Amino acid sequence: MGATISNLSDSGGGESAANRPGLGDIPEACIASVFLYLTPPEICNLAPLSRAFRGAASSDVVWETKLPKNYQELIGLLLPPEKYDGLSKKDVFAVLSRPIKFDDGNKEVWVDRWSGRVCMSISAKGMAITGIDDRRYWNWILTDESRFQVVAYLLQIWWFEVDGIVRFPLPPDTYTLSFRLHLGKFSKRLGRRVSHFEHTHGWEIKPVKFELTTSDGQQVTTEYFLDDKEHDDTIGNLKRGCWIDYNVGEFVVTDSEPATEVHFSMKQIDCTHSKGGLCVDSVSIIPRCVRERRRRSVSFKQA
């Protein structure tokens, strides 16, 4: 396509500038046909090229293919009618691509801008945490490092258990579920981020058990040591002082009706030892392809 556009703008061939074909001569329907195979950001980047490109980039036919199959059900469930009545498909995509909170603000859902796939996040506030109301064990920390602006911080406990449930009409896809955790407490000092580990202990003794089950009988169980058993003086402890997404597993949705119910948990209930110094932020449910794209992006930046 690049070579073709370049040829259209060449001055050779003896034709006058007025008679040479240009981008404006490409029919809007042809451009729209090409846009069906592009991502939403790519479409928006090409829109300024000409009036025909702008028209195709606003076409309901194009944007209908970028939206989730059950987008009408989703937007009706998440927003009042006055927020979406009369909107074009492009504007509906723009509305859904911004995180929309529900369930008292403890859960949020959005459409991935690149793929049009549905993603979800559940705050620690939306989970059942053993001992959360006892300040001897847990505290809430306000922070801009969480999309929900708050995380749960564990001081010390023997019976560690976090459970959650979400029922939502996820469109057909393969989804991954993960917990976002941070070993140690963090703060800012003189503009720099500082981590504190005075309460961090017990996570290297036995692994934490993670589970997910779905309403149609799918089940996944996995285990992780949240702390390193050995400390390397050269590289330190790679699990402390940073946010880590612990992948629990995958589940498949074949139909948005009935709504999929997902139960998830993490626990370490061996009461022979205490554990503490852990921040619990959220659980994410995202399509496998979105997760893989993010991992490739991180790997590319680190290369």
- 43-88 confidence digits (pLDDT tens): 999 999 999 999 999 999 999 999 999 999 999 999 999 989 999 9
Q: Enumerate residues 6+ apart whose C-beta is below 8 A from 193.
A: 186, 187
DSSP letter at 232 equals B
Q: Enumerate residues 6+ apart whose C-beta is below 8 A from 254.
A: 172
When pLDDT is cut at 50, 70 and 90, the band that residue 231 belongs to is: low
What is the signed CA dihedral for 130, 131, 132, 133, rounded to 10 degrees?
A: 140
Q: How far is CA 193 from CA 102, 156, 185, 231, 235, in A?
A: 31, 23, 11, 22, 19
- In whole angstroms, give the CA distance from residue 35 to residue 47: 10
- 146-163 confidence digits (pLDDT tens): 999 999 999 999 999 999
3-state secondary structure of 148: coil
What is the signed CA dihedral for 268, 271, 274, 279, rounded to 10 degrees?
A: 30
Of the given ranges (37-41, 90-94, 190-194), which has the lowest mean pLDDT?
A: 190-194
- In whole angstroms, give the CA distance from residue 90 to residue 182: 38
**What is the mean pLDDT of the segment spanning 196-219?**
95
Question: Token pair for residue 72?
Answer: 């009408």
**Strands 208-214 and 260-268, sheet pairing:** antiparallel
Q: Enumerate residues 6+ apart whose C-beta is below 8 A from 77.
A: 169
Count CB-CB contacts under 10 A for residue 238. 10
Write down the number of H helices and E strands in the chain. Answer: 8, 15
- 174-199 confidence digits (pLDDT tens): 999 999 999 999 988 888 999 999 99
DSSP letter at 133 equals T
When pLDDT is cut at 50, 70 and 90, the band that residue 237 belongs to is: low
